[in-house]
Amino acid sequence: MTDACFQLKGSVFTTIILELYQYSRESFTQQLKDKINQAPGFFHQSPVVISLEKINDNVTEVDFDELLDISRQFGLQPMAFKCTKSHFKSAINATSLALLSDSALRTTSRKPLPESSTLQASSSMEEKKLVPRKSKIVTRPVRSGQQVYYEGADLIILSQVSEGAEVLADGNIHIYGALRGRALAGINGDTSARVFCQKLEAELISIAGNFILSDFMRTQAWQQAVQVYLDEHILHVAAV
Amino acid sequence: MAEIIVVTSGKGGVGKTTTSAAIGSGLAIRGHKTVVIDFDVGLRNLDLIMGCERRVVYDFVNVLNKEAKLNQALIKDKRNENLFILPASQTRDKDALTQDGVKNILDELSKTFDYIICDSPAGIEKGAQMALYFADQAIVVTNPEVSSVRDSDRILGILQSKSLRAEQGDEPVKEHLLLTRYNPGRVADGEMLSVKDVEEILVIPLLGVIPESEAVLKASNQGEPVIFDEGADAGYAYKDAVSRLLGEVIEFRFIEQEKKGFLKRLLGAR
């Protein structure tokens, strides 16, 4: 198989969807400018799908070439249209961008995307990973029966986590107190996430789906300040 | 404006009603006009503990449903003129409680009373949530054993998230830990959690430690809150707790084994 030029793979990307309600050159330009000025770094070189699903019924014609030009001027990378309304189809085809029908999106049997945009999509995903991760600070004890999770963030707890409580994070978990409940770090698969605590008395610690239970932890650095990290699918407990 | 204090625990049988009766009586003895409300609709007990069961005509739910006026349902204590009891209904269940209804009653009581003590039912369901919802302060009654401590931890979580103060983002409900049925001898033998153990798990300020005492059972059966018993350890411990509730700083009694240990040694030597 060394002489193979390529391999076809299915993949899912997260993209921004620009939902168009109506279109006029002036207001579209102005509103896009305002939106992008709010977070220029975030939108830079972002692949965008333009959706006409929510367009007002009285809009029958849109100058798509002009719309695409304006979007590109602001650094967006329009890569496809999403539309089920038949009267726009010929105009969309004329732009040579892909047309995603609703069913295509639902069944994930995707039409191949233009090669260039796919590449840009993945490279811009990489860029997004470099954006500093948010962190959420919890100042009060997390009590039995409570669950704390903030999407896409590291979790910093300035108190204890009680038995029967659960703290979850996409990133790291820092606990400046005793951990007696459950701590699950990297729940979206980040294997580099770690759990830190001042006093290890946990019921369960998990990183990216790999977990250890208190029976195992009792043989390690029980009741000490520790960090827990993942190496080769095995969780390690180390005193800090 | 009255201060609303909920006496709660999560777990049943730890001494909530005994504590409500004792703390309510203690506040009244100190000259504060106090009402104790039984939120345990369907399992009415407070009236027995306070010795007014034969004077119950109208109850909390009657007032809530506007079948009776608040003054008709309030029972004035025979021992202290500052003390009043609002009994629960025995024939209804927790669904009879509505947030608006409870609010109206508490608002009306707030006009004339200094303290409103809400005696919560066990559990974490509607009855318990109603009892704690409007609270300014909470006395969390805990026995020195693991299941009671865990349930207290759970109820503290609910106080933090489901009380009116939590929902409105006001200053959080002020939490107090009250350890009951404490036996220093058994703590020394490692059969019971120590005050320090419980404080370490719950991390809330200690209001009092009530020693395990036969006087408590006697007081319940006689319908006389233990705080009125001049000879009982538990009575003194409750008086101390009331003083701390009123902001005084008092040393803790009955948490050391020393005296008993000495006696025990003497008895053992016999």
Average pLDDT of chain A, as a whole number: 83
Instruction: Please report the DSSP string for B128-152 in residue order.
Output: HHHHHHT-SEEEEEE-SSHHHHHHH
Q: Do B203 and A180 touch (CB under 8 A)?
A: no
Nearest to B118 by CA among B138, B99, B141, B98: B138
Cβ separation A141–B156 shorter than 8 A: yes
Kindly report, residue by residue over B239-261, the tens digit of the pLDDT. Answer: 999 999 999 999 999 888 755 55
Average pLDDT on A193-200 reads: 97
CATH topology of domain A16-105: Alpha-Beta Plaits (3.30.70)
Which secondary-structure segment (H or E) carries B71?
A: helix B70-73
Domain with CATH 3.30.70.260 in chain A: 16-105
Residue A102 pLDDT class (50, 70, 90 cuts): low
**Angle at Cα A25 formed by Cα A19 and Cα A26, nearest 5°?**
105
Greater confidence (A201 vs A131) lies with A201
Contact status of A199 with chain B (Cβ, < 8 Å): no
A141 and chain B in contact, CB less than 8 A: yes
Q: Which residues of A touch B157 (CB under 8 A)?
A: 142-146, 162, 165
Looking at A28-32, A82-86, A135-139, B97-101, which range is the least confident one? A82-86
Q: What percent of chain A clears pLDDT 90, i.e. is strictly above it?
A: 41
Query: Is B132 part of the contact surface with chain A (CB cutoff 8 Å)?
Result: no
Helical segments of A1-158, H only? 25-38, 40-43, 64-73, 89-94, 102-107, 115-130
- Residue A9 clears pLDDT 90, i.e. is over it: no
Residues of B in contact with A160 (CB under 8 A): 203
**Mean pLDDT of the residues in chain B:** 93
CB contact under 8 A, A160 and B153: no
Burial of residue A230, with CB atoms counted within 10 A of its CB: 0-12 exposed, 13-18 middle, 19 or more buried: buried
Rounded Cα gap, residues B240 and A98, in angstroms: 78
Residue A147, chain B, CB below 8 Å: the answer is no
pLDDT value, residue A107 = 39
Residue written as token pair 């009891």: B85
Q: Does A124 score more than 70 pLDDT?
A: no
Between CA B262 and CA B207, with CA B177 as vertex, the angle to 5 degrees is 65
Residue A160 at interface with chain B, using a CB cutoff of 8 Å: yes
- In this structure, are strands B137-142 and B3-8 parallel, antiparallel, or unpaired? parallel
B158 interface with A at CB cutoff 8 Å? yes
Taking residues B43-47, report their average pLDDT: 95
Q: Which of A144, A159, A160 sits opposite B154 (nearest CB)?
A: A144
Is B263 in CB contact (< 8 Å) with chain A?
A: no
* pLDDT given at position A82: 83
Q: Report the half-sphere exposure of B18 (CA within 13 A, side-chain side).
A: 29
CB atoms A160 and B160 under 8 Å: no
The per-residue pLDDT for range B114-166, each reduced to its tens digit, is 999 999 999 999 999 999 999 999 999 999 999 999 999 999 999 999 999 99
Contact across the interface for A144 and B203, Cβ inside 8 Å? no
Q: pTM for this one?
A: 0.70
Give contacts of A144 with chain B, Cβ < 8 Å.
150-151, 153-154, 157
Rounded to the nearest angstrom, the minimum Cα separation between A160 and chain B is: 9
Q: Is A164 on the interface with B (CB under 8 A)?
A: yes
Residue B168 in contact with partner chain A when CB distance is under 8 A: no
Task: Name chain B contacts of A141, Cβ cutoff 8 Å.
Answer: 156, 203
Statement: residue A130 has pLDDT above 70: no
Q: Please, where in chain A does CATH 2.160.20.70 lie? A: 136-239
Report whether CATH 2.160.20.70 matches the domain A136-239.
yes
Q: Which residues have C-beta within 8 Å of that of residue A216, sequence separation ≥ 6?
A: none
The CA-based angle A43-A49-A50, given to 5 degrees, is 105
Of the pLDDT bands very low, low, confident and very high (cuts 50, 70, 90), residue A104 is very low
Residue A98 confidence (pLDDT): 85
The share of chain B scoring above pLDDT 70, in percent, equals 95
pLDDT at position A13 is 66
Residues in chain A, how many? 240
Better-scored residue on pLDDT, A86 or B206:
B206
Contacts of B33 (CB under 8 A, 6+ apart): B82, B84, B112, B113, B114, B115
Shortest CA gap B226–chain A (Å) = 32
Taking contacts as CB-CB distances below 8 angstroms, the residues of chain B near A157 are: none
Among A146, A159, A180, select the one facing B157 at the smallest CB separation.
Answer: A146
Query: What pLDDT does A2 receive?
Result: 63
